[in-house]
Amino acid sequence: MIELAQRCLGTESVLQMPLYSPSMTRRRFAQTTTSMALAASVTKKFALAFDAEDEQNEVKVGLIADLHFGNLAPDGIERFKVFRKAVENEKPDHMVQLGDFCFGEPAAKKLMDEWKAIKTDKYHVLGNHDMDKDTKASIQKFWGMEKRYYDFDQNGWKFIVLDMNHLKKGDEYIPYGNANFYVDASMRTWADPEQLTWLNKTLAESVLPVIIYTHQPIGQRPDSPQQRPILAILKKHTSTPSRPKVRAVICGHQHDDWHREIDRIHHVCINSASYLWKDRRPWPYQEALFTFMEIKDGNLTLTGTKTTWRERPDGVDRVPTISACDLQLG
């Protein structure tokens, strides 16, 4: 089991989710190291079932999640500089910040200067805490993010960015803004109907295999009313009768890392760049966590950093990491 921590209404709830189970006995897990140009790194490798033509379509992506620059991670700019240097060394085809990045305030302008200085294609995902002090419109303007959900094509792949930052009150969907989402969990983390219609249409029209980026997981609680409609859309669209068009969903939000497979689609959560949230406070990592995703030869490989605690929280005996495993699906 791995322990997942999430922030909920200012409190901390601990979830237990299996990294593997008896039903996954044909999957082999093995920790490996890598020679990648990162200070300390481990590899997480997922063998995806690709079409033959997909295997020729290679892409490499830099991923960073939950930087939380501001009061919870005042050293966020220094952490991002480490990621920037790694991106410049690894030269990915594009990079993505998976949400909970920063507020639209003067102190964050230096962070945005670092972001803009990176010479590669760059994409934003909206996280819930990005709207602690801003509306969606104001943080999008601050970031230079044209649309709250969108898609783009690269190297024979379609990438889709989702926005699950809505409250649902009866039949009304209310965008997150200025910390209006600190309410009952049943009202939070919804995708609006307009977006779901767009997602269904985009998947129906795509002839390319798909990777989805989202801040909040859509495979953590698959039976929840928030996640179930999205999963139904993903399951509906297949490249062949037995193969999903969506190959993987990459998220942040949980401040831990995990993987699970639903309807042959990989759901992968990327750890926070900055800290674990536990006992109503952040527990900072000594160094920044981030990862590079590479799709090559029919495999999706995550190569992420590993660090230590500045102060270890009680009851946590693992090291902070984008953890390592080698999954071979049978």
Cα separation, 180 vs 220, in Å, equals: 23
pLDDT score of 219 more than 80: yes
On the 0-12 / 13-18 / 19+ scale of CB atoms within 10 A, 241 is exposed
Over residues 300-323, the mean pLDDT reads 83
Cα separation, 292 vs 303, in Å, equals: 5
94-108, 263-277, 309-323: lowest mean pLDDT where? 309-323
List pLDDT tens digits, range 258-293: 888 898 899 999 999 999 999 999 999 999 999 999
Domain 2-327 has CATH 3.20.20.370: no
Question: Residue 218, SS3?
Answer: coil
What value does the mean pLDDT of the chain take?
83
pLDDT of residue 34: 32
pLDDT: is 156 or 47 the higher one?
156
Binning pLDDT at 50, 70 and 90, where does residue 1 land? Answer: very low
pLDDT score of 3 more than 90: no
| Under 8 Å between Cβ of 259 and 249 | no
Binning pLDDT at 50, 70 and 90, where does residue 153 land? Answer: very high
Residue with tokens 């085809």: 93
Q: How far is CA 241 from CA 196, 202, 248, 324, in A?
A: 23, 19, 18, 32
82-86, 267-271, 323-327: lowest mean pLDDT where? 323-327
Helix, strand counts (H, E) of the chain:
5, 21
Question: Residue 205, SS3?
Answer: helix
Binning pLDDT at 50, 70 and 90, where does residue 234 land? Answer: very high
| Under 8 Å between Cβ of 167 and 187 | yes
Q: Where are the domains of the chain?
A: 2-327
Over residues 22-46, the mean pLDDT reads 40
pLDDT of residue 33: 29
Give residues with Cβ within 8 angstroms of 180, minimum separation 6. 131, 167, 174
Over residues 9-25, the mean pLDDT reads 26
Phi–psi pair at 204, nearest 5 degrees? -65, -35
pLDDT of residue 25: 27
Over residues 88-103, the mean pLDDT reads 97
Cα separation, 160 vs 178, in Å, equals: 26
**CA proximity to 98, closest of 317, 299, 266, 289:** 289
5-9, 91-95, 186-190: lowest mean pLDDT where? 5-9
pLDDT of residue 136: 98
Cα separation, 85 vs 193, in Å, equals: 39
pLDDT: is 197 or 303 the higher one?
197
Q: How far is CA 15 from CA 29, 55, 274, in A?
A: 22, 36, 20
Over residues 292-302, the mean pLDDT reads 86
Over residues 151-175, the mean pLDDT reads 97
pLDDT of residue 37: 37
Binning pLDDT at 50, 70 and 90, where does residue 51 land? Answer: low
Q: How many residues does the chain have?
A: 330
pLDDT of residue 53: 61
pLDDT of residue 241: 66
